[in-house]
Amino acid sequence: MLNVEFARDLVFTAVLFGLVTFMWAGWAQERPPAGVVWRVVLGVLSAGGLALLGLGLPPLIRNWGSPTAMVSGSPALIAYIVVFWLEVAVIAGLAIFYARSGRQHLLPPTVLIVVGTHFAPLALVFQQPVMMLAAVLITAAGVVSLFLPRQVAAPSFWCGILAAPVFLVLGAVSLVAGQGALAG
């Protein structure tokens, strides 16, 4: 499930997944189900994301010169840049479309779907199977969120409560594997 050849990339993935765990758990605070329990769960997920970010950043900085799939000028880096900007353009277009059509509630699930699908080509770019798993699980979370009851909670809640744990677990596994490979 993990390719440790580019261990620094695994640690980078962990740091990034920690950040997005924090972000999705935060967006989920928009309108969770009634009661304090869900806010506590989201707070724990946010704290877990920040912890993952904090634990991963020092080894990422220390090992920045380690081998990476993202060599300057390489086809992998060019593909990454193209996929990233395509993702940004699609999300911006969706945000404008949903705002103009009065369907802003669709933005979080479709953003999650776009984010999830973008991991599929990145799995090939980074030669990292864990990103394909992220693609499947995160895209599925976005699709499922489209159908969960809006009267119970905002779509952003469903996205966050489904996606944040995926990002947190995959990020933690990536950090452990990456650090282990860098130390070994």
Would you give per-residue pLDDT tens digits along the chain (184 residues)?
A: 788 999 999 999 999 999 999 999 999 999 999 999 999 999 999 999 999 999 999 999 999 999 998 888 888 788 889 989 999 999 999 999 999 999 999 999 999 999 999 999 889 888 899 999 999 999 999 999 999 999 999 999 999 999 999 999 999 999 999 999 999 7
151 closest CA partner among 31, 55, 42, 64: 31
Q: What pTM value is reported for the model?
A: 0.94
Structural domain total, the chain: 1
φ/ψ of 13, rounded to 5, equals -60, -45
Domain of 121, in residue numbers:
4-183
Q: Give the CA distances from residue 52 to residues 4, 12, 36, 146, 181, in Å, rounded to whole numbers and listed in that order.
A: 19, 11, 24, 28, 17
